[in-house]
Amino acid sequence: MAHEFSWSVSRHDTFNSCRRKYFYSYYLAPDDPEIHRLKKLSALPLWAGSVVHEIIEGILKTRDTLPSETEQQAIVHAAVHERLLGDWRASEAGPASDEGVLRFRLFEHEYSTTVDADDKKIVVGTVMRSLRNFFRSPVLQEALAVGRSQWLTVEDLVSFDVGGVPVFLRMDLAFRDAQGRVVIVDWKTGRGEGRFNEIQLAGYALYAARQGWVTQAEEIQTELAYLAIPRYVRRSVDARKLDHARAFIEKSAERMKALLVDPALNLGRIEDFAMIDRPQLCRRCNFRRLCFPPAAVAAAEAPQPSAAI
């Protein structure tokens, strides 16, 4: 079944990491339940980030004031002892779905990868530090101080048009500060600068300008909030950044469409989306068993019989 072509930062990232993974994710997964299930597998670092984001979203959508110290401790405790533990048990139980809803599943359980105790501690530590630092973050205090009436979006999935292509994005938080500027916040649980963090934020700013939230680009500020460290990187926006984001998206979309047999209908063939030869990446790919079926791998690695003399 054909689906409308669209663009997002995650789609761009997948396309650049592996064309075959991209085809599985955006052309086969929507109509194939098993490929869709594999796409949804979560590796340990992504799991930690998802848990933190979902808890923060729940807090921002239900609270107008900062929770008390006791409430904060309870939220962090529940994140570890209820959410993480519940996810872990669901993943261990296997890949089945519950009443049509996919059960949470870790990549490590799907592919029988040993999870060391230290790796579990890293996940727990990341979640606990990120949530504690979120409650202490200056940008949260700033957003709460101006009040919910000045908030523009909290984790809303939106789209807008760039060069005839629908662009999808989801801002963690955007609000109007005391000076009337728009502040766009992206919560991060990783420690390093992501490859496309800046283009992602520029895309958010482009959307904000298109929505008429500001009259000029300079009225927008973006903030990368690295909660696990913590470190907060706030930058200004100008018209040049918006132009760069627009050109980047258009060029990226053109490269994706160039591999399609029918760009108008968004139809492609799997053989036109090549596999990569990077064992380190392939070993950590959700679709590993599709590219390297276990039986085929075992046959290739099995000792070959000696030729008869």
Residues 198-214 pLDDT 10s: 889 999 999 999 999 99
Kindly list the distances between the CA atom of residue 297 and the CA atoms of 244, 267, 282, 291, 300, in Å, as whole numbers in the listed order.
44, 30, 13, 10, 5
Q: Is pLDDT above 50 for 298?
A: no
The total domain count for the chain is 2
Same domain membership, residue 166 and residue 91: no
Q: Which residues pair with 284 in a beta bridge?
A: none
Looking at 198-207, 254-263, 264-273, which range is the least confident one? Answer: 198-207
Q: Supply the pLDDT for residue 302.
A: 43
Same domain membership, residue 200 and residue 119: no
Kind of pairing between the strands at 231-236 and 220-226: antiparallel
Phi, psi of 292 (to 5 degrees): -130, 75
Domain membership of residue 279 (yes or no) is no
Same domain membership, residue 93 and residue 169: no
Rounded to two decimals, the pTM is: 0.90
Neighbouring CB atoms inside 10 A of 84's CB total 19
Please report, for the domain that includes residue 220, its CATH number.
3.40.1350
Domain membership of residue 79 (yes or no) is yes
Neighbouring CB atoms inside 10 A of 90's CB total 16
Q: Are 188 and 141 in contact (CB under 8 A)?
A: no
Select from 247, 268, 283 the last residue of a domain.
247
Same domain membership, residue 201 and residue 152: yes
Select from 205, 223, 247 the last residue of a domain.
247
Same domain membership, residue 172 and residue 114: no
Same domain membership, residue 132 and residue 50: yes
Select from 247, 263, 288 the last residue of a domain.
247
Same domain membership, residue 122 and residue 45: yes
Distance, CA of 244 to CA of 246 (rounded, Å): 5
Burial pattern 268-303, b for ≥16 Cβ within 10 A else e, equals beeeebebeeeeeebeebbbbbbebeeeeeeeeeee
Kindly list the distances between the CA atom of residue 31 and the CA atoms of 25, 102, 167, 189, in Å, as whole numbers in the listed order.
10, 15, 21, 32
Same domain membership, residue 155 and residue 61: no
Domain membership of residue 264 (yes or no) is no
Q: How confident is the model at residue 304 (pLDDT cuts 50, 70, 90)?
A: very low
Q: What does the mean pLDDT of the chain come to?
A: 92
Domain membership of residue 72 (yes or no) is yes
Nearest to 164 by CA among 2, 9, 4: 4
Return the percentage of the chain with pLDDT > 90, whole number: 86
Q: Is pLDDT above 80 for 299?
A: no
Q: Is pLDDT above 90 for 47?
A: yes
Neighbouring CB atoms inside 10 A of 305's CB total 6
Same domain membership, residue 127 and residue 75: yes
First-to-last alpha carbon distance for the chain, in angstroms, is 55
Q: Are 179 and 219 in contact (CB under 8 A)?
A: no
Phi, psi of 263 (to 5 degrees): -60, -35
Same domain membership, residue 194 and residue 128: no
Domain membership of residue 224 (yes or no) is yes
Q: Is pLDDT above 90 for 153?
A: yes
More confident residue, 43 or 306: 43
Same domain membership, residue 243 and residue 149: yes
Domain membership of residue 298 (yes or no) is no
Domain membership of residue 290 (yes or no) is no
Same domain membership, residue 161 and residue 76: no
Domain membership of residue 12 (yes or no) is no
Q: How confident is the model at residue 306 (pLDDT cuts 50, 70, 90)?
A: very low
User: Domain of 213?
Assistant: 145-247
Per DSSP, helices labelled H in the chain are 9-17, 19-23, 33-39, 44-62, 69-78, 85-92, 107-110, 117-136, 138-146, 197-210, 239-257, 279-283, 288-291, 294-301
